[in-house]
Chain A
Amino acid sequence: MSSDQDHLKETDTEARFEFKKEEKAAFETEKGLTEETVRVISEDKDEPEWMLERRLRALEQFQEMPMPEGWPGAPDLSEVDVGDIVPYIRPDIETRGGADSWEDLPEEIQDTFDKLGIPEAEKNALSGVGAQYESEIVYQNMQERWEEKGVIFCDMDKAVQEHEDLVKEHFMTKCVPPSDNKFAALHGAVWSGGSFVYVPEDTTVEMPVQAYFRMNSEGMGQFEHTLIIAEDNSEVHYIEGCSAPKYSAFNLHSGGVEVFVGENAHVQYSTVQNWSKNTYNLNTKRAIVEADGTMEWVSGSMGSKATMLYPATILKGPGATDNHITIAFAGEGQDIDTGAKVYHNAPDTKSTIESKSISKDGGRTNYRGLVHISDGAEDSSTSVECDALMFDNESTSDTMPYMEIQESKVDVAHEATVGKIGDEDVFYLQSRGLDDDDAKQMIVAGFIEPITEELPIEYAVELNRLIELEMEGSLG
């Protein structure tokens, strides 16, 4: 998606954001994040008092909490000094809350998203699109027919103003409280942008809605918040894509995602992450699933310098289901530490986790997962499968699952395998006339197929293309 980065860099130099220019000094004079920073953000957004209070409380928690260190094999975050991060950059656009036509956007921004192929995808395969540039959603549109049915898809800042009651009830209260971890607290303090999705009862949104997140400035932090509420018997598929051009200084992405899956509702959340390799990607994503509801997480982690991402599902109602499909690809200098968390808190709940990881050129992947079955969650079952493929002797592939089983009437299975690309498979393909590179690419494409087949065809193609790019020139 951002593979053609040389073009994108041109747009960077053109892009000028008034807010950044004016406020930069103010942010930099303070060492670290201060109350003042948070107040400036909240004021700029004209937020209600309760949101400012929540931000300030989160800031306090952030300052008190330790870094996520001391875990076995935790990625090195020593470079991440929040004091060096520009947490809020408002692009210079006239329509706050997102234009509903690409033509209304400044040319540079339009150009960026054109190159990322977003408007094209919107025409063909999506119910709605949101696009975030730096800290704010710049474009937001949904097909009218969904609006008529009461579906809401708007940017999060707008939702705070226009759907205040819903947001006040659900925003970082019962799903991801800021106290969850240090970066969730940071997120709670400085969040900006993101999507709000509301699907009324008995409504099926047939085509996916998509949000695309783009960081263009050096040394910035992006903290978008996504809140999805799917009422009983509803269905929606949300896709997020992420990218940024590479700079020498580090960027920080610390998104927060909260999903409420009503009774018998079905939510799929798909992510294709291709952050530049100077980005620390530290997200907190969580879903709460009511009776007979289904949550599906599909994640492809290709970019970033270090990723720590463990989408969590709380199976709260009887008969709730969770499916996790994750793929991680770590190349040179990358540490992709990702996995899944599932809490079975009710009877007859079911979860499956399928993880595929690929490491090459000194990259490291780690599957870190937790399955917790509470006492009383009888007749629950969970199955975890992790497969890892390693390209060379410089790379690392770790698997660290944790299982906590407090109920006896359960079926718990975990399996993992690690291996290299089969020489025989490569030989077979070569004997059919493919060269070494093509053979290996084909094997990798086959390896991740269980993931790609869950995505709309455009994204599956994109994911495959990203992997091809990752593998180019370093094989043979």
Chain B
Amino acid sequence: MSTQVHANLTASQVEQISEDLGEPEWLLETRTEALEALDDLDMPDVIRTPGRTWTNLDALDYESLVDPLDYAQDKDRVDAEGVEVLSWSEALDEHEDLVKEHFGTVVDPQRDYLTALSTALFSAGTVVYVPEGVDAEDVKIRTTMNSQSLFNYTLVVAEESSSVTILERQQTGEDVEGERYYSGVVEAVAGENAYVQYGALQNLSEETYNFSAKRGHADTYATVNWIEGNIGSRLTKTSVETRLLGDSSESQILGAFFGHEDQHFDIASRVWHEAEHTVADLVTRGVLDDEARSVYEGVQDVGREAWDTSSYQRENTLMLSDESEADASPKLIINNHDTEASHSATVGQVDAEDMFYMTSRGVNPEAAKNMLVEGFFVPVLEEVQVDELREDLDQLIYERLRE
């Protein structure tokens, strides 16, 4: 456990953030409680095997990374017809009840040290409110981080029979000397028969440490789909999760990452089947170059009452460099026998036969490899409904291959 941050964090700083955002008393209380809990909270879970810790979060010097009162940033929110995309202050003005009803109900504000830190310090918030029956496409939330550290929070509430597709992207703007820290918490609530696709594209500078927790609740007949694209950052620790709480609810969690140099991605996809006739599909594809390292954990948890469950998981990693490392742990936890569940994971190089086919057609080896790597991501890309996300992810992969 780490207490580095606590040393230079005070309750008055938290009060000031809350006051700047014009928050009601209950929110300040939630923040203060999270601050006080820091002492007793552990770092987020990481995988350990005999003699090895897959991601070492304790080694980070948070004290030098966090400056609670500097949260310079650009926010660009694009809404769509019928849907409200609100800044934190706006949301509290117009829909305080809605925020109060859902805030902290999906992601426990004190689930671990880094989440509690985010709860205490978040300075940027967005609420996407999709009223009953509204179909909305292409909501966009673009965050450019201009400060040393930034704590972000997003709440999505999709009411009964509504539908929304959202793109969230994070990047770093103005240069800041030294290392940076970005933290983001996303909560998504999908009401009965609602549909949410939430895509995130993370392209932070490679001096940035990135922590993210995204979780959704799916009610009866609801769908919560996630797309998690990771290109930037020095180290990323991210969890994307869905609880299938209503009968016949569904979730798809797609992930794509491309690491190079000494980047480290610790990525988790988790789903809990807690009702009947639920379906989950977890697909992650990643490429590693140079000394980059990936850690993947997938969890399919089928509860005692989750009759007639279907749950699938696939994870594939391509290693372009001999210095890279790919660690993976796809887990199945099955408590109901009326389940069809499977998972698979592979690690390897670009397929030699595919390469041979391409080069025998006159494509030079470099171009052939690039085409095969781009093709490798297609199963994830073709599921992305927000054009900007698909095109930008595709472009970033294209650029990284040609660096």
Contact = CB atoms under 8 A, between A and B. Distances in A.
Contacts of A393: 304, 307, 335-338
Nearest to B347: A412
Interface in A364-400: 370, 372, 375, 378, 388, 390-393, 395-400
Contact of A405 (B47, B326, B330, B339): B326
Given A397-B332, A400-B329, A417-B342, A375 B348 contact: no
Given A419-B340, A420-B339, A401 B324 contact: no
Nearest to A419: B340
Contact of B331 (A370, A399, A419): A399
Nearest to A385: B344
A403 interface: yes
A101 interface: no
B322 A407 contact: yes
A49 interface: no
A392 to B, nearest CB: 6
A32 interface: no
B319 interface: yes
B396 interface: no
A104 B338 CA distance: 55
A404 interface: yes
Interface in B304-353: 304, 307, 317, 319-349
A345 to B, nearest CB: 14
Given A402-B49, A408-B349, A419 B339 contact: yes
B369 to A, nearest CB: 13
A401 B330 contact: yes
Interface string B189-217: 00000000000000000000000000000
A410 interface: yes
Contacts of A370: 49-50
Contact of A418 (B323, B326, B339): B339
B52 interface: yes
Contacts, number: 118
Interface residues of A, number: 37
Interface string A398-438: 11111111111111111111111000000000000000000
Contacts of A396: 333-335
B332 A398 contact: yes
Given A407-B322, A418-B341, A419-B340, A402 B47 contact: yes
A42 to B, nearest CB: 29
Interface in B351-376: none
Nearest to A370: B49
Contact of A403 (B328, B333, B335, B343): B328
Contacts of B346: 412-414
A418 B349 contact: no
Contacts of A397: 332, 334
A420 B331 CA distance: 18
A73 interface: yes
Given A406-B325, A408-B321, A413 B344 contact: yes
A416 B344 contact: yes
A418 B344 contact: no
Interface in B7-48: 47
Contacts of B317: 405
Contacts of B339: 390, 418-420
A403 B329 contact: yes
A392 B337 contact: yes
Contact of A402 (B319, B329, B332, B343): B329
Nearest to B297: A402
B243 to A, nearest CB: 18
A367 to B, nearest CB: 9
A124 B62 CA distance: 69
Contacts of B338: 393, 420
Contacts of B47: 402
Interface in A143-176: none
A403 B343 CA distance: 14
Nearest to B327: A404
A408 B344 contact: no
Given A73-B333, A401-B329, A408 B341 contact: no
Name the residue in B304, B338, B348 with the highest tally of chain A Cβ atoms < 10 Å from its Cβ. Answer: B348
B211 to A, nearest CB: 21
A393 B308 CA distance: 11
A48 B49 CA distance: 36
Contacts of B325: 375, 404-406
Contacts of B322: 375, 378, 407-409
Given A375-B322, A403-B347, A413-B344, A418 B332 contact: yes
Contacts of A408: 319-322, 324, 349
Given A370-B49, A390-B339, A418 B347 contact: no
A402 B341 contact: no
B334 A388 contact: yes
Contacts of A404: 49, 52, 325, 327
Nearest to A407: B322
A392 B328 CA distance: 30
A392 B334 CA distance: 11
Name the residue in B321, B343, B349 with the highest tally of chain A Cβ atoms < 10 Å from its Cβ. Answer: B343
A392 B304 CA distance: 10
Contacts of A391: 337
A396 B301 CA distance: 11
A404 B52 CA distance: 10
A417 B339 CA distance: 10
B323 to A, nearest CB: 8
A375 B337 CA distance: 40
B339 to A, nearest CB: 6
Nearest to A409: B349
Interface string A199-211: 0000000000000
A392 B332 CA distance: 17
A416 to B, nearest CB: 5
Contacts of B336: 390, 393
Interface string B372-396: 0000000000000000000000000
Nearest to A381: B348
B334 A398 contact: yes
B342 A411 contact: no
A419 B341 contact: yes
A403 B345 contact: yes
Contacts of B340: 418-419
B319 to A, nearest CB: 4
Nearest to B328: A403
Contacts of A388: 332, 334
A425 B64 CA distance: 63
Interface of B: 47, 49-50, 52, 304, 307, 317, 319-349
Given A393-B304, A400-B331, A400-B332, 9 more contacts: A390-B334, A397-B332, A399-B331, A400-B329, A404-B49, A414-B343, A415-B343, A420-B337, A420-B339
6 contacts: A390-B336, A399-B343, A400-B329, A400-B331, A411-B348, A414-B328
The 8 closest A-B pairs by CB, nearest first: A390-B337, A408-B319, A412-B347, A399-B332, A420-B337, A417-B342, A415-B344, A418-B341
